[in-house]
Amino acid sequence: MCALVLASTVIAPMLTASHASAQEPSPTAQPAPPIAAGQIDLEKDTQSSALVDAPAPPPEAPPPAPYKKSLVLDSSIGALVFLGKFGKTAPPAPLLRVQLGYELFKWLMLFGEGELGFTDTSGSQDPPKTRAFPIFGFGGGARLTVRFTDRFGVYVQGDIGAMKADIRRRALEIIGFKDAEDLGLYLGGRIGLEWYQLDRHFALGLNGGLRDATGFKRTIGSDTPLAFDAGVSIRYAF
């Protein structure tokens, strides 16, 4: 009997505590407090900054522009040397040449040309008899160009024209070159190297040519009136 009373005394408080615990409401998640006006949302601001700071993908390079046929102005400065007997009369002449052409194709250009050089008769006449005079000529021809890369190319051309020494009458006749005082036919060829710039309009070049300048043949005796010239050039394509 005593044992039963003791057990009821111990168990009853435990059951009462368990029943009270079961009736207590379980804790629930509390909602985040609202953001007051003017207050910064740090989480959203951090995400936005990350998006802004992310590097953008590099833009794709535009395709190269197609080749355009156009007018071409080619000017060069160099020297003209006569290899025949006239070369013993006149020293090498500074030479300016200008060509204006049109490209029918990427590899073919037709052109007209003009040139001007300056020399004298110091090779066969002593001062004060030495005569200084200009040599001018004009003509035309065709040029074939091969471009090995987008930056480098070579060309060959053939031309035909006329040239003369602009000097007082009979000044060259008395030393054996009467025909040089009048326009005389020339036939020639030229080879050149071109370096095309990033700007498609410009190119730099080196060139050299050989021609048969028939008007500068010595009047008496045998002679081969060859003339060689070489120079540096700049090319402008419109």
Report the DSSP pairing between strands 226-237 and 152-165: unpaired
d(CA 59, CA 180) in angstroms, rounded, equals: 64
d(CA 214, CA 217) in angstroms, rounded, equals: 6
Asked whether residue 187 is assigned to any structural domain, the reply reads yes
Looking at residue 172, what DSSP letter applies? T
Task: State the pLDDT at residue 49.
Answer: 55
Which has more pLDDT, 12 or 130? 130
User: Which residue type occupies 135?
Assistant: I
Task: State the pLDDT at residue 94.
Answer: 98
Asked whether residue 150 is assigned to any structural domain, the reply reads yes
d(CA 105, CA 119) in angstroms, rounded, equals: 38
How confident is the prediction for the chain on average, in pLDDT? 84
Which has more pLDDT, 11 or 149? 149
1 pLDDT more than 50: no
The residue-averaged pLDDT of 17-35 equals 50
Asked whether residue 153 is assigned to any structural domain, the reply reads yes
The residue-averaged pLDDT of 196-224 equals 95
Which residues are paired to 230 by β-bridges? 79, 208
Asked whether residue 219 is assigned to any structural domain, the reply reads yes
Which residues are paired to 102 by β-bridges? 71, 110
Asked whether residue 161 is assigned to any structural domain, the reply reads yes
Among residues 99, 100, 105, 80, the alpha carbon closest in space to that of 90 is found at: 80
Residue 7 main-chain phi, psi, to 5 deg: -65, -40
Residue 75: CATH number of its domain: 2.40.160.20
Which residue range is the domain that position 137 belongs to? 71-237
Asked whether residue 119 is assigned to any structural domain, the reply reads yes
28 pLDDT more than 80: no
d(CA 143, CA 73) in angstroms, rounded, equals: 13
227 pLDDT more than 80: yes
Report the DSSP pairing between strands 132-147 and 71-82: unpaired
Q: How many structural domains are present in the chain? A: 1
Among residues 232, 223, 155, 158, the alpha carbon closest in space to that of 193 is found at: 155
Asked whether residue 23 is assigned to any structural domain, the reply reads no
Asked whether residue 46 is assigned to any structural domain, the reply reads no
Task: State the pLDDT at residue 21.
Answer: 47
Which has more pLDDT, 67 or 108? 108
Model pLDDT for residues 109-168, shown as the tens digit of each residue:
999 999 999 999 999 999 999 999 999 999 999 999 999 999 999 999 999 999 999 999
Length of the chain: 238
Which residues in 64-73 are b (16+ Cβ under 10 Å) and which e? eeeeeeeebe
* E strand or H helix that includes residue 138: strand 132-147
d(CA 26, CA 167) in angstroms, rounded, equals: 121
d(CA 118, CA 168) in angstroms, rounded, equals: 15
d(CA 181, CA 162) in angstroms, rounded, equals: 12
Percent of the chain's residues with pLDDT above 90:
67
Q: Which residues contact 182 (CB under 8 A, 6 or more apart)?
A: 164, 215
Model pLDDT for residues 47-101, shown as the tens digit of each residue:
555 445 556 667 776 766 666 788 999 999 999 999 999 999 999 999 999 999 9
4 pLDDT more than 50: no
**Residues 135 and 80 sit within 8 Å (Cβ to Cβ):** yes
Q: pTM of the full predicted structure? A: 0.71
